[in-house]
Homo-oligomer: A and B are copies of this chain.
């Protein structure tokens, strides 16, 4: 491709030779001549200066750092990079059809343009939409629905009645629709009695679910993942959770039963949110934050229980000085005792 074509794909302004041939994308440090790279994280200024790439996707402000290299000037270099990289790495083509070594049970409807690979299992009365792809050892339960162009990597399980929206991508090993964790203790029989988990999971369109993530079916009704939400590896979503649209849930985050996340909520890695809570739209929860009550005011939170990041950092400073403070207090107590003694003596004089 030429730099001119890539400028059009990136939605940016060409800064250099429109006919320059570009054969691939790469990182700042790894790029070779003939490749295009991008610069967005200011940590990597030195790498930008040293890059061997033939062209760079940059923001206006970084143009001065280019030292005469060809460039495409864009508002968001990372978004432009996503588009340019997608031009070089199109979604692979899958051969449509049902492999004879797959199982498609009676009553299941598989669109003729869908791909069902060997060892995939489509249960009774399930539906698989147009151009959807089921890799080996994918399981689709009874009456489950897989939307058009959904991409289910190997060993994904979608249990009965669950729905996966159009264009949703499910990474390998993710489990959709496992039973919610609901038990009631029976003091007579001295057992935890299972509460039937008779609801389902509804995953809307353009969602991504990470490898080995687990999204539980509702006790009754639906566990819902909103349109365009992206969920990372090993994330746990409890029964009846409602995740709004366009959320970002990073690795190993856990959301407990019946909790509602608003639109555009961001959870960094290993965040936990307890059950039956509400988290306001656009709230950002920092790494390992542990939410134990509703969050009504959006903002950036850290800690368990979470506090505004600024307050967290302030406490950190105080904690760092805490030993010193304890010593200061002791010293001050001594000075006060001395003062008291002196004053006592003075008064008696």
Name A residues whose Cβ lies closer than 8 Å to a Cβ of B.
25-27, 30, 41, 43, 76, 78-79, 81-83, 85-86, 88-89, 101, 103, 117-119, 121, 135-137, 139, 153-155, 157, 159, 169, 171-173, 175, 178-179, 181-187, 190-196, 198, 206, 208, 210-214, 216, 219-221, 228, 230, 232-234, 236, 238, 246, 248, 250-252, 254, 256, 268-270, 272, 274, 276, 287-288, 290, 292, 304-305, 314-316, 318-319, 321-323, 325-326, 328-329, 332-333, 335-336, 339-340, 342-343, 346-347
Q: Say whether A173 contacts B196, CB under 8 Å.
A: no
Q: Nearest chain B CB to A55's CB is how many angstroms away?
A: 15
Q: Given known contacts A103-B101, A287-B290, A332-B336, is B118 in contact with A212 (CB within 8 Å)?
A: no
Max chain B CB contacts within 10 Å: which of A121, A157, A347? Answer: A157
Q: Say whether B328 contacts A333, CB under 8 Å.
A: yes
Q: Nearest chain B CB to A152's CB is how many angstroms away?
A: 12
The distance in angstroms between the C-alpha atoms of A316 and B43, with both chains bound, is 35
- Chain B residue numbers with a CB within 8 Å of A193 are 79, 82-83
Residue of B nearest to A307 (CB): B320
- Chain B residue numbers with a CB within 8 Å of A81 are 184, 195
Q: Nearest chain B CB to A54's CB is how many angstroms away?
A: 16
Q: Nearest chain B CB to A155's CB is how many angstroms away?
A: 6
Q: Given known contacts A82-B194, A191-B206, A246-B191, is B220 in contact with A211 (CB within 8 Å)?
A: no
Checking B25, B198, B236, B268 against A85 with a beta-carbon cut-off of 8 angstroms, the contacting residue is: B198
Residue of B nearest to A275 (CB): B269
The distance in angstroms between the C-alpha atoms of A310 and B277, with both chains bound, is 21
Checking B154, B169, B198, B288 against A121 with a beta-carbon cut-off of 8 angstroms, the contacting residue is: B154
Closest 4 CB pairs of A and B: A178-B211, A79-B184, A139-B154, A214-B233
The distance in angstroms between the C-alpha atoms of A238 and B233, with both chains bound, is 9
The distance in angstroms between the C-alpha atoms of A194 and B167, with both chains bound, is 12
- Chain B residue numbers with a CB within 8 Å of A43 are 276
- Chain B residue numbers with a CB within 8 Å of A304 are 287-288
Q: Say whether A254 contacts B254, CB under 8 Å.
A: no
- Chain B residue numbers with a CB within 8 Å of A119 are 103, 119, 121, 136-137
- Chain B residue numbers with a CB within 8 Å of A212 are 173, 175, 212-214, 234
Residue of B nearest to A135 (CB): B139
Q: Nearest chain B CB to A289's CB is how many angstroms away?
A: 10
The distance in angstroms between the C-alpha atoms of A346 and B342, with both chains bound, is 11
Q: Say whether A184 contacts B78, CB under 8 Å.
A: yes
Q: Nearest chain B CB to A301's CB is how many angstroms away?
A: 13
Q: What would 25 A/B residue contacts be, using CB atoms closer than 8 Å? A: A25-B220, A26-B220, A27-B220, A76-B185, A79-B184, A89-B198, A101-B103, A117-B121, A139-B154, A139-B155, A181-B230, A181-B251, A190-B228, A191-B206, A236-B252, A254-B269, A256-B269, A272-B287, A287-B290, A315-B319, A315-B323, A325-B325, A325-B329, A332-B333, A336-B336
The distance in angstroms between the C-alpha atoms of A233 and B81, with both chains bound, is 34
- Chain B residue numbers with a CB within 8 Å of A276 are 41, 43
Residue of B nearest to A290 (CB): B288
The distance in angstroms between the C-alpha atoms of A347 and B342, with both chains bound, is 9
